[in-house]
Copies of this chain bind each other. A is one copy, B any other.
Amino acid sequence: MSLKEGDYVLLLTSDEKSYLVEIKDQDFHTHKDFLNLKDLIGKTYGDVIYGKKGEKFYILKPTIYDFIKKIERITQIIYPKDIGYILLKLNIGPGKIVLECGGGSGALTSAFAYIVGEEGKVISYEKELKFQEVAKKNLKKLGLLHRVIFKNVEVLENFEEKEVDAVFLDVKTPWVLIKGSWEALKGGHPLGILVPTANQVSQCLSELEKCPFIEIEVVEILLRHYKTNPERLRPEDRMVAHTGYLIFAKKVFEK
Protein backbone atom coordinates (compact mmCIF):
# COMPACT_ATOMS: atom_id res chain seq x y z
CA MET A 1 0.00 0.00 0.00
CA SER A 2 1.78 3.06 -1.27
CA LEU A 3 1.94 6.21 0.82
CA LYS A 4 0.24 9.30 -0.59
CA GLU A 5 -0.07 12.98 0.15
CA GLY A 6 -1.84 13.65 3.45
CA ASP A 7 -0.82 10.38 5.07
CA TYR A 8 0.94 10.52 8.40
CA VAL A 9 4.16 8.62 8.98
CA LEU A 10 6.53 8.22 11.89
CA LEU A 11 10.03 9.04 10.67
CA LEU A 12 12.83 7.49 12.68
CA THR A 13 16.46 8.58 12.45
CA SER A 14 19.35 6.13 12.83
CA ASP A 15 19.71 7.20 16.46
CA GLU A 16 16.03 6.44 17.05
CA LYS A 17 14.62 9.95 17.39
CA SER A 18 11.11 9.82 15.96
CA TYR A 19 8.97 12.44 14.26
CA LEU A 20 5.28 12.34 13.34
CA VAL A 21 4.93 14.06 9.96
CA GLU A 22 2.30 14.58 7.30
CA ILE A 23 3.24 13.90 3.69
CA LYS A 24 3.19 17.15 1.74
CA ASP A 25 5.50 19.36 -0.31
CA GLN A 26 7.61 20.67 2.55
CA ASP A 27 11.19 20.37 3.75
CA PHE A 28 11.65 18.55 7.01
CA HIS A 29 14.78 19.12 9.09
CA THR A 30 16.21 17.09 11.97
CA HIS A 31 19.54 17.20 13.83
CA LYS A 32 20.75 14.49 11.43
CA ASP A 33 19.60 15.47 7.99
CA PHE A 34 16.67 16.84 6.01
CA LEU A 35 14.37 15.74 3.20
CA ASN A 36 11.32 16.89 1.30
CA LEU A 37 8.29 15.13 2.66
CA LYS A 38 6.69 14.70 -0.75
CA ASP A 39 9.53 12.25 -1.52
CA LEU A 40 7.69 9.85 0.78
CA ILE A 41 4.92 9.50 -1.80
CA GLY A 42 4.96 6.03 -3.32
CA LYS A 43 7.02 4.58 -0.46
CA THR A 44 5.62 1.95 1.91
CA TYR A 45 5.65 1.71 5.71
CA GLY A 46 8.82 -0.15 6.66
CA ASP A 47 10.86 1.40 3.84
CA VAL A 48 13.99 3.44 4.29
CA ILE A 49 14.38 6.85 2.71
CA TYR A 50 17.63 8.78 2.53
CA GLY A 51 18.02 12.43 3.47
CA LYS A 52 19.84 14.97 1.33
CA LYS A 53 23.08 14.29 3.26
CA GLY A 54 22.72 10.54 2.99
CA GLU A 55 21.23 9.79 6.41
CA LYS A 56 18.72 7.00 6.77
CA PHE A 57 15.13 7.66 7.80
CA TYR A 58 12.89 4.71 8.61
CA ILE A 59 9.26 5.10 7.56
CA LEU A 60 6.99 3.65 10.22
CA LYS A 61 3.25 3.30 10.66
CA PRO A 62 2.28 5.68 13.46
CA THR A 63 0.32 3.74 16.07
CA ILE A 64 -2.27 5.27 18.36
CA TYR A 65 0.49 5.09 20.99
CA ASP A 66 2.74 7.22 18.74
CA PHE A 67 -0.03 9.74 18.06
CA ILE A 68 -0.58 10.15 21.81
CA LYS A 69 3.14 10.53 22.55
CA LYS A 70 3.60 13.05 19.72
CA ILE A 71 0.39 14.94 20.34
CA GLU A 72 0.54 18.72 20.28
CA ARG A 73 -0.03 19.60 23.92
CA ILE A 74 -0.75 22.70 25.98
CA THR A 75 -1.90 20.77 29.03
CA GLN A 76 -0.56 17.84 31.00
CA ILE A 77 -1.59 14.77 29.00
CA ILE A 78 -2.66 11.36 30.21
CA TYR A 79 0.01 8.71 29.67
CA PRO A 80 -0.41 5.52 27.61
CA LYS A 81 0.20 3.36 30.71
CA ASP A 82 -2.92 4.95 32.24
CA ILE A 83 -4.94 5.19 29.02
CA GLY A 84 -4.62 1.46 28.33
CA TYR A 85 -6.02 0.57 31.73
CA ILE A 86 -8.78 3.18 31.45
CA LEU A 87 -9.92 1.68 28.13
CA LEU A 88 -10.41 -1.75 29.73
CA LYS A 89 -12.02 -0.50 32.94
CA LEU A 90 -14.43 1.76 31.06
CA ASN A 91 -15.21 -1.04 28.59
CA ILE A 92 -14.38 1.15 25.61
CA GLY A 93 -14.98 -0.73 22.36
CA PRO A 94 -16.54 -0.27 18.93
CA GLY A 95 -19.95 1.39 19.08
CA LYS A 96 -19.69 2.82 22.59
CA ILE A 97 -20.83 6.31 23.62
CA VAL A 98 -18.23 7.84 25.95
CA LEU A 99 -18.44 11.14 27.76
CA GLU A 100 -15.30 12.85 29.03
CA CYS A 101 -15.01 16.09 30.94
CA GLY A 102 -11.71 17.96 30.89
CA GLY A 103 -10.63 16.93 27.42
CA GLY A 104 -7.46 19.03 27.53
CA SER A 105 -5.16 18.55 24.55
CA GLY A 106 -7.04 15.44 23.46
CA ALA A 107 -4.73 12.52 24.29
CA LEU A 108 -7.38 10.39 25.94
CA THR A 109 -9.99 11.73 23.49
CA SER A 110 -7.84 10.37 20.66
CA ALA A 111 -7.65 6.92 22.19
CA PHE A 112 -11.40 6.88 22.85
CA ALA A 113 -12.19 8.05 19.32
CA TYR A 114 -9.86 5.47 17.83
CA ILE A 115 -11.42 2.56 19.70
CA VAL A 116 -15.14 3.43 19.51
CA GLY A 117 -15.00 3.13 15.72
CA GLU A 118 -17.41 4.58 13.19
CA GLU A 119 -20.48 3.50 15.16
CA GLY A 120 -19.33 4.99 18.45
CA LYS A 121 -19.12 8.55 19.67
CA VAL A 122 -17.04 10.58 22.12
CA ILE A 123 -18.54 13.62 23.83
CA SER A 124 -15.73 15.83 25.04
CA TYR A 125 -16.38 18.71 27.43
CA GLU A 126 -13.64 21.31 27.95
CA LYS A 127 -14.17 24.77 29.40
CA GLU A 128 -10.97 26.26 27.96
CA LEU A 129 -11.48 27.06 24.28
CA LYS A 130 -7.75 27.15 23.53
CA PHE A 131 -7.29 23.61 24.88
CA GLN A 132 -10.18 22.37 22.80
CA GLU A 133 -8.79 23.98 19.67
CA VAL A 134 -5.59 22.00 20.15
CA ALA A 135 -7.56 18.83 20.77
CA LYS A 136 -9.48 19.36 17.54
CA LYS A 137 -6.23 19.76 15.59
CA ASN A 138 -4.93 16.55 17.11
CA LEU A 139 -8.08 14.61 16.30
CA LYS A 140 -8.01 15.96 12.77
CA LYS A 141 -4.49 14.58 12.25
CA LEU A 142 -5.79 11.18 13.27
CA GLY A 143 -8.72 11.51 10.86
CA LEU A 144 -11.09 10.99 13.79
CA LEU A 145 -12.58 14.44 14.25
CA HIS A 146 -16.02 13.27 13.10
CA ARG A 147 -16.24 10.78 15.95
CA VAL A 148 -16.01 13.49 18.63
CA ILE A 149 -18.65 15.99 19.73
CA PHE A 150 -16.70 18.84 21.29
CA LYS A 151 -18.48 21.01 23.84
CA ASN A 152 -16.76 24.17 25.01
CA VAL A 153 -18.78 24.45 28.20
CA GLU A 154 -17.93 24.58 31.88
CA VAL A 155 -20.16 21.97 33.47
CA LEU A 156 -21.23 23.03 36.94
CA GLU A 157 -23.58 20.23 37.79
CA ASN A 158 -25.11 18.12 35.05
CA PHE A 159 -24.18 16.98 31.57
CA GLU A 160 -26.63 17.27 28.71
CA GLU A 161 -26.33 13.56 27.91
CA LYS A 162 -28.12 10.59 29.43
CA GLU A 163 -27.55 6.86 29.06
CA VAL A 164 -23.91 7.02 28.06
CA ASP A 165 -21.77 3.87 28.29
CA ALA A 166 -18.94 5.44 30.27
CA VAL A 167 -17.87 8.74 31.83
CA PHE A 168 -14.33 9.96 32.45
CA LEU A 169 -13.45 13.02 34.54
CA ASP A 170 -10.11 14.80 34.30
CA VAL A 171 -10.78 18.13 36.00
CA LYS A 172 -9.50 19.89 39.12
CA THR A 173 -12.54 19.24 41.30
CA PRO A 174 -14.08 16.05 39.91
CA TRP A 175 -16.11 15.49 43.08
CA VAL A 176 -18.54 18.25 42.09
CA LEU A 177 -19.32 16.28 38.92
CA ILE A 178 -19.79 12.86 40.47
CA LYS A 179 -23.52 13.27 40.94
CA GLY A 180 -23.80 14.64 37.40
CA SER A 181 -21.82 11.68 36.10
CA TRP A 182 -24.23 9.34 37.84
CA GLU A 183 -27.12 11.08 36.07
CA ALA A 184 -25.43 10.74 32.68
CA LEU A 185 -24.48 7.06 32.97
CA LYS A 186 -26.45 3.96 32.08
CA GLY A 187 -27.19 1.75 35.09
CA GLY A 188 -24.38 -0.65 36.03
CA HIS A 189 -21.90 1.21 33.82
CA PRO A 190 -18.49 2.62 34.74
CA LEU A 191 -17.12 6.00 35.78
CA GLY A 192 -13.39 6.82 35.71
CA ILE A 193 -11.51 9.72 37.29
CA LEU A 194 -7.90 10.88 37.16
CA VAL A 195 -6.47 13.12 39.90
CA PRO A 196 -2.85 13.97 40.67
CA THR A 197 -3.01 14.30 44.46
CA ALA A 198 -3.91 12.04 47.38
CA ASN A 199 -6.12 14.77 48.85
CA GLN A 200 -8.24 14.77 45.70
CA VAL A 201 -8.56 10.99 45.90
CA SER A 202 -9.97 11.32 49.42
CA GLN A 203 -12.44 13.96 48.30
CA CYS A 204 -13.63 11.83 45.39
CA LEU A 205 -14.00 8.78 47.62
CA SER A 206 -16.10 10.75 50.10
CA GLU A 207 -18.40 11.92 47.33
CA LEU A 208 -18.61 8.46 45.72
CA GLU A 209 -19.78 7.06 49.05
CA LYS A 210 -22.71 9.48 49.06
CA CYS A 211 -23.98 8.44 45.61
CA PRO A 212 -25.09 4.99 44.53
CA PHE A 213 -21.71 3.97 43.13
CA ILE A 214 -20.13 0.61 43.93
CA GLU A 215 -17.07 -1.50 43.08
CA ILE A 216 -14.88 1.49 43.83
CA GLU A 217 -11.23 1.03 42.88
CA VAL A 218 -8.24 3.33 43.31
CA VAL A 219 -4.99 2.43 41.57
CA GLU A 220 -1.74 3.88 40.38
CA ILE A 221 0.32 2.47 37.54
CA LEU A 222 4.10 2.56 37.28
CA LEU A 223 5.91 1.90 34.02
CA ARG A 224 9.60 1.08 33.97
CA HIS A 225 11.66 1.06 30.78
CA TYR A 226 14.68 -1.18 30.34
CA LYS A 227 17.83 -0.55 28.35
CA THR A 228 17.82 -2.87 25.38
CA ASN A 229 21.37 -4.24 25.44
CA PRO A 230 20.92 -8.03 25.76
CA GLU A 231 24.31 -8.45 27.42
CA ARG A 232 23.62 -5.72 29.97
CA LEU A 233 19.90 -5.87 30.68
CA ARG A 234 18.86 -3.32 33.28
CA PRO A 235 16.17 -0.71 33.88
CA GLU A 236 16.71 2.84 32.69
CA ASP A 237 18.27 5.10 35.33
CA ARG A 238 15.21 7.28 35.78
CA MET A 239 11.48 6.91 35.31
CA VAL A 240 8.22 8.79 35.64
CA ALA A 241 7.32 8.34 39.31
CA HIS A 242 3.80 9.67 39.18
CA THR A 243 1.20 10.83 36.70
CA GLY A 244 -1.99 10.46 38.70
CA TYR A 245 -4.28 8.25 40.72
CA LEU A 246 -7.04 6.48 38.83
CA ILE A 247 -10.43 6.00 40.43
CA PHE A 248 -13.17 3.75 39.05
CA ALA A 249 -16.73 2.95 40.14
CA LYS A 250 -19.99 1.64 38.72
CA LYS A 251 -23.42 3.25 38.92
CA VAL A 252 -26.27 1.42 40.64
CA PHE A 253 -29.78 2.73 41.13
CA GLU A 254 -29.76 2.27 44.88
CA LYS A 255 -27.18 1.30 47.50
Counting contact residues on chain A (CB < 8 A from B), the size range is 35 or more
Most buried by B among A196, A214, A216, A241: A241
On whether the beta carbons of A84 and B93 are closer than 8 Å, the reply is: no
A216 partner residues in chain B, CB cutoff 8 A:
228
A44 interface neighbour in B44, B118, B188, B229, Cβ under 8 Å:
B188
A118 partner residues in chain B, CB cutoff 8 A:
94
- Given contacts A233-B198, A252-B48, A252-B60, whether A223 and B221 have CB atoms under 8 Å apart is yes
A87 partner residues in chain B, CB cutoff 8 A:
84, 87
Interface residues of A in 229-244 (CB under 8 A from B): 229-242
Q: Is A74 an interface residue (CB 8 A)?
A: no
On whether the beta carbons of A221 and B219 are closer than 8 Å, the reply is: no
Give the complex CA separation of A81 and B83 in angstroms: 10
Closest to A45 in B: B188
Give the complex CA separation of A142 and B230 in angstroms: 39
Interface residues of A in 102-143 (CB under 8 A from B): 111, 114-115, 117-118
Q: How many copies does the complex hold?
A: 4
What is the distance, in angstroms, from A174's C-beta to the closest C-beta of chain B? 14
What is the distance, in angstroms, from A148's C-beta to the closest C-beta of chain B? 15
Q: Is A197 an interface residue (CB 8 A)?
A: yes
What is the distance, in angstroms, from A89's C-beta to the closest C-beta of chain B? 5
A189 partner residues in chain B, CB cutoff 8 A:
45-46, 61
Which of A31-39, A63-71, A153-161 sits within the interface? A63-71
Residue interface bits A187-216, CB-to-B below 8 A is 1, else 0: 111100000111101110110010000111
On whether the beta carbons of A197 and B230 are closer than 8 Å, the reply is: no
Looking at chain A's contact residues, is the secondary structure mostly helix, strand, loop, or mixed? Answer: mixed
A91 interface neighbour in B61, B199, B236, Cβ under 8 Å:
B61
Q: Is A149 an interface residue (CB 8 A)?
A: no
Give the complex CA separation of A58 and B63 in angstroms: 39
On whether the beta carbons of A89 and B117 are closer than 8 Å, the reply is: no
Q: Is A225 an interface residue (CB 8 A)?
A: yes
Q: Is A179 an interface residue (CB 8 A)?
A: no
On whether the beta carbons of B46 and A64 are closer than 8 Å, the reply is: no
What is the distance, in angstroms, from A109's C-beta to the closest C-beta of chain B? 14
A239 interface neighbour in B80, B227, B239, Cβ under 8 Å:
B239
With A81-B84, A198-B198, A198-B234 known, 9 other A-B pairs at CB within 8 A are A46-B250, A61-B91, A61-B189, A61-B250, A94-B117, A95-B117, A220-B223, A224-B241, A236-B242
